[in-house]
Amino acid sequence: MPDRVYNFSPGPATLPVEVLQQAAIDIVNYNNKGIGLIEMSHRSKDFMAITVEAENLIRELLNVPQNYQVLFLQGGASTQFAMVPMNLLGPGKKGSYLNTGVWAKKAIKEANIVASAQVAYSSEGSKYDHVPADGDYTVDPAAEYLYFVSNNTIYGTQFHTMPKSDKMLVCDMSSDIMSRPFDITPFGLVFAGAQKNIGPAGATLVIVREDLLDRVAETVPTMFRYKTHAEKGSMFNTPPCFAIYTIGLVCKWLKKIGGVPAIEKINREKAAILYEAIDSMDFYRGHARKDSRSLMNVTFNLPTPELEARFVQEGAKRGLDGLKGHRSIGGIRASIYNAFPKQGVIDLVAFMKEFAKSA
């Protein structure tokens, strides 16, 4: 394989090289069966086994109890912004939301179309530079759930501990799923687009407590009911076959290196190297407050937009790809998900030091 760039993109993001290599073989000839993976029937014995294995690995890695359904859906996390209230609320019901970034704000908008969203907290006034502590907000007593985004890719903030509430939790974990252990039992539902931390674009992982499946109203269209997909084992219609297969490979890789606790240790080491560099030089300024810094997406600014553009351009020439910050805030964003190699962070820090001296 030729030399690879370091992919700092927020998603689709870098995947383990061994996963890519195995997928390249199986796309052409899966398991020496004379048929390519992406040609196989989703109802074939071989593909059904792939799906079952992927689900079992997810359950093992995240310690998911049997009273939760593991679903592989389509439509991205953005579809879940509507599916969550469609299935768990309905007319006259409300959910409480923590507005800590663009994706939470979009979810609030969708919830208000379907039912009602109470915004219990918003950090929009400070350009989403932090997440709240438990005592910073009050959940509406009439709310069915407390919804939050565990990691905010655009602004580089993350809940270091999950919120506590007497309401069930609902969480968009698209950008930090499987990056650290967490107890799923306070959650009614967790969802994650695959393309940041667990696979390629095309699949959305949903983990939902079984007793919630019957909440959905008959007026909700069939494809938008979690119950539809749970009853058919994610096979009601043709699922995102290649994405499910690749999620399974990523889970095998993660299990082999020691599982979620092991990758958390690696993630903390990578982030510490980068944040230490930011803090040690006046040239760089982190966007997120220190108490809310993300282990997945490190956001920072340089003295001027012109220098930021030059930094991105020169970094790309060195194989440091995808460093441009989101258009809404500019600056630099280094996404260092599970599969991102530590050496890439080390190389970025070396470049940062050189750039600061020469600018």
What does 214-225 look like in DSSP terms, one character per residue? GGS-TTS-GGG-
Tell whether 273 and 205 lie within a shared domain. no
Domain stops at, among 232, 256, 280:
256
Which tokens hold the place of 188? 């009614």
270's tokens:
């990578």
pLDDT of residue 91: 76
Global pTM value: 0.96
Looking at 256, 272, 287, the residue that finishes a domain is: 256
Q: Which residues are catalytic?
A: 103, 172, 196
**Is residue 11 in some structural domain?**
no
The pLDDT of residue 1 is 38
User: Which residues does the chain have with pLDDT short of 70?
Assistant: 1-2
- Residue at 1 is within a domain: no
Q: What is the pLDDT of residue 329?
A: 87
Which whole-number Å values give the CA distances from 210 to 87, 173, 188, 227, 231, in the listed order? 12, 19, 9, 9, 11
Domain match, 231 and 336 both? no
Task: Assess if residue 58 is contained within a domain.
Answer: yes
The CATH number of the domain where 268 resides is what? 3.90.1150.10
User: Is 237 inside any structural domain?
Assistant: yes
Range of 207's domain?
17-256
Q: Considering the domain boundaries, does residue 295 fall inside one?
A: yes
Tens of pLDDT along 55-98? 999 999 999 999 999 999 999 999 999 999 999 997 789 999 99
Q: Looking at the 3D structure of the chain, how many domains does it have?
A: 2
**Shared domain check, 240 and 164:** yes
Q: Which of 233, 256, 279 is the last residue of a domain?
A: 256
In whole angstroms, what is the distance from residue 19 CA to residue 12 CA? 15
pLDDT, tens only, 132-163: 999 999 999 999 999 999 999 999 999 999 99
